A and B are shown apart, each in its own frame.
Chain A
Amino acid sequence: MQSSRDNHSTLAERFNKDEARVSWHDQTLWWIRQKRDKAAWSLGEEWEGLRSQASQIKAHTLSNLSGYLEEFEANAIANGAIVHWAADAKEHNEIVHKILQDNKVTQLVKSKSMLTEECHLNPYLETHGIDVVDTDLGERIVQLANEAPSHIVLPCIHWKKEEIGELFHKHLATPAGNADPSFLTNAARIHLRDKFLTRRVAITGVNFAIAETGEFVVCTNEGNADMGAHLSDVHIACMGIEKLIPLRRHLGVFLRLLARSATGQPVTTYSSHFRKPRQGQQLHIVLVDNGRSQQLAKEDFRNSLKCIRCGACFNTCPVYRRSGGHSYHTAVAGPIGSILAPNLDMKQYADLPFASTLCGSCTNVCPVKIDIHDQLYKWRQVLTKEGYSPKTKTVAMKTMAATLSKPGLFSFAGKWARRIMRIAPWLVNNKMNPWYKQRNMPAAPKQSFTEWYKTNRNKDKK
Chain B
Amino acid sequence: MTVGLFLPCYVNQFYPQVGVASLELLEKLGCDVVYPLQQTCCGQPMANSGYEHLSSATDELFMRNFHEFDYIVSPSGSCALHIKHHLHGKDHEASAKVRASMYELTEFLTDVLKVEHLDAKFPHKVGLHQGCHGQRGLMLSQMSELVAKPFSKLEKLLGMVNGIELVDLDRKDECCGFGGTFCVMEEAVSAKMGKDRVSDHTRNGASFITGADMSCLMHLEGILKRQKSAVEVKHIAEILNAG
- Cβ–Cβ < 8 Å partners of B46 in chain A: 397, 400-401, 404
Q: A-B contact count, CB below 8 Å?
A: 220
> Are A401 and B145 in touch, CB under 8 angstroms?
no
Q: Is B48 an interface residue (CB 8 A)?
A: yes
> Are A9 and B185 in touch, CB under 8 angstroms?
yes
- Cβ–Cβ < 8 Å partners of B184 in chain A: 434-435
A310-324, CB < 8 A from B: 316, 318-319, 322-323
Q: Is A192 an interface residue (CB 8 A)?
A: no
Least distance between B83 CB and chain A CB atoms (Å): 14
Partner of B171, one of A30, A354, A364: A30
Across the two chains, which residue of chain B brings its CB closest to A47? B147
> Are B192 and A360 in touch, CB under 8 angstroms?
no
Partner of B222, one of A318, A402, A440: A440
> Are B183 and A48 in touch, CB under 8 angstroms?
no
Q: Is B118 an interface residue (CB 8 A)?
A: no
Stretch from A37-45, A58-66, A161-169, A177-185 that touches the partner: A37-45
> Are A407 and B16 in touch, CB under 8 angstroms?
no
Q: Is A242 an interface residue (CB 8 A)?
A: no
Q: Is A381 an interface residue (CB 8 A)?
A: yes
Chain B interface residue bracket vs A:
35 or more
Stretch from A196-204, A291-299, A329-337, A452-460 that touches the partner: A452-460
B7-22, CB < 8 A from A: 7, 9, 11-16, 18-20
Partner of B19, one of A13, A397, A452: A452
A307 to B11, CA, bound (A): 40
A15 to B157, CA, bound (A): 40
Number of interface residues of A (CB under 8 A): 80
A387 to B133, CA, bound (A): 28
> Are A361 and B13 in touch, CB under 8 angstroms?
no
- Cβ–Cβ < 8 Å partners of B218 in chain A: 442
Least distance between B3 CB and chain A CB atoms (Å): 13
- Cβ–Cβ < 8 Å partners of B68 in chain A: none
Q: Is B196 an interface residue (CB 8 A)?
A: yes
Q: What's the dominant secondary structure at chain B's contact region? A: helix
Q: Is B148 an interface residue (CB 8 A)?
A: yes
A363 to B136, CA, bound (A): 10
Q: Is A443 an interface residue (CB 8 A)?
A: yes
Chain A 436-462 near chain B by CB (<8 Å), digits 1 or 0: 011111111101111111100110010
> Are B175 and A438 in touch, CB under 8 angstroms?
no
B109-123, CB < 8 A from A: none
- Cβ–Cβ < 8 Å partners of A287 in chain B: none
> Are A457 and B51 in touch, CB under 8 angstroms?
no
Q: Is B74 an interface residue (CB 8 A)?
A: no
> Are A448 and B178 in touch, CB under 8 angstroms?
no
Residues of A within 8 A of B (CB): 8-9, 12-13, 15-16, 19, 22-23, 26, 30, 37, 40-41, 43-45, 47-48, 316, 318-319, 322-323, 353-361, 363-365, 377, 380-381, 383-385, 389, 393-394, 397-398, 400-402, 404-407, 410, 414, 417-418, 434-435, 437-445, 447-454, 457-458, 461
Q: List 6 A-B contacts (CB under 8 A).
A: A8-B186, A16-B188, A319-B177, A323-B189, A404-B40, A453-B19
